[in-house]
Structure 1
Amino acid sequence: MGLPLAWLLVRLMPFRFWSTWLGEAAPGEADPPATPETQAAYDVGWAVRTTNRTVGGRYTCLMQAMAAQWMLSRRHVPTSLVLGTLTERGEDNQLVIKAHAWLKVNGRTVLGDTGERFTAVSSYVRRHPQPVED
C-alpha cells in the first residue's frame, strides 16, 4: 500500500501538504539517531526496489523512499529521507537540474544510490524510540 499511496501524494497533492508526514525537516544531509535495526532497513529497501522492478519501474526514487520510510517507521526504525539535486549541462549546453531522493539509516544509504554527484538540499528525519520490552 505504501508505493501506491506515495504515487498518489506525489502526483496529486502539493508538496507542502504531505511533506510534514516525512518527518522533521533539516537542512542538508542529516543523520537519524543510531539504531540496531540496520538489517531490517536493508531488507525493506530490497523489498521496495524489487516491487518497483516487478511493476516496471513506475515509482520514482522519492516515492520509493517515502514507502520505505513508512515501512521502517512501523518497525520503530529511525530514518532520514534526503532530497538532493545535481546541476549539469544538457546536450544543448543548457543547465539541467536533476532531483533525487534516498533513505538513510545509521548513516548508511539503504535505498536510492546517492553516488558522489548529488548535493543534499534537505532531509526529513523520523526519530522513533525503541518499544519498551516488558
Structure 2
Amino acid sequence: MAQSAAHRLRTALLMGPRRQLLVAEACVSMFVARVSLAIFPFRQVAKSFGVMVPPNDPRVLAYAEGATEEQARTARMVSWAVRVSAPHMPFRSVCLQQAMAAHAMLKRRGIVSIMHFGAGKGEQKPIDAHAWLDAAGVKVTGYPVAPTLAELGCFV
C-alpha cells in the first residue's frame, strides 16, 4: 500500500503543472456532481445539461460538425483527467458523475458536448442505466457502451 501511494505521488509530481491542475479540476467537478445529485432532484440538476432530445435529433447528429482539432485535443485531455481521477475519488464515481464533470469542464472551455442516457436489462439487477459523453468528435466518458443498452435520449 505504501509503495502504491508513493508511486501515485511520484506519478502526480512528474505529470507537470498543467495536467496536475486538470486532474484537480476533474476531482472537484466529480465531487460537485456527487453533491449536486445527493442534494437536488435529478430534474433540477439536468437543467444545466441542456435540452433533452431523442437520440436521432438532428442537433445530436450534427454536434461534431465544425469542431476544431484544438477542441478535440481539449476533449481528449478532459477525458484523460476524468478517467485517471475517478478511481481515486473517496467515493464511487459512477458514469453519471464522470459525464457531469467532463460536461462542466468542457462547458467552461466553450466546447459543446452531448450527454447520452441509456438503459437495458441488467445481469445483476433488473435494469442497468448508463450515461456517456461526446464532444468535438471525441468519446469523452462512459465508453465502451454495452450493446445491451438502448439509448433513450441526449442532452444538447
* TM-score, normalization by structure 1: 0.80
Q: Which amino acid aligns with 2:131?
A: A
Structure with the higher strand share, 1 or 2: 1
Q: What's the Cα RMSD here?
A: 1.9
Among 111, 114, 130, the alignment partner of 1:77 is 111
Cα distance in 2, alignment partners of residues 115 and 109 from structure 1? 14
What is the rounded CA distance, in whole Å, between the counterparts of 1:97 and 1:77 in structure 2? 32
Match of 1:2 in 2: 29
Q: Which residue of 1 aligns with 2:141?
A: 111
Tell me, what secondary structure is at the counterpart of 1:21? helix
Question: Structure 2: how far apart are the matches of 1:19 and 1:8?
Answer: 14
d(CA) in 1 for partners of 2:72, 2:41: 32
Aligned to 2:23: none
Q: Which residue of 2 aligns with 1:24?
A: 51
Unaligned 5+ runs, structure 2: 1-27
Structure 2 matches for 1:52-71, cutoff 5 A?
52-55=86-89, 58-71=92-105
Quote the Cα distance in structure 1 between the aligned partners of 2:149 and 2:136: 20
Q: Using the TM superposition, give the Cα deviation of residue 102 of structure 1 relative to its aligned residue in structure 2, in angstroms.
A: 0.3
- Greater shift in the superposed pair: 69-78 or 81-90: 81-90
Change beyond 3 A, Cα 1:8–1:107: same
Q: Specify the alignment match of 1:132 in structure 2.
A: none
Larger Rg: 2
Where in structure 1 do 4 or more consecutive aligned residues deviate above 6 Å?
none
Displacement after TM superposition at 1:89 (Å): 5.4
For structure 1, the 5+ residue unaligned runs are: 126-134
Amino acid at match of 1:110: V
**Greater share of residues in helix:** 2
The percentage of aligned residue pairs carrying the same residue is 29
TM-score (norm 2): 0.69
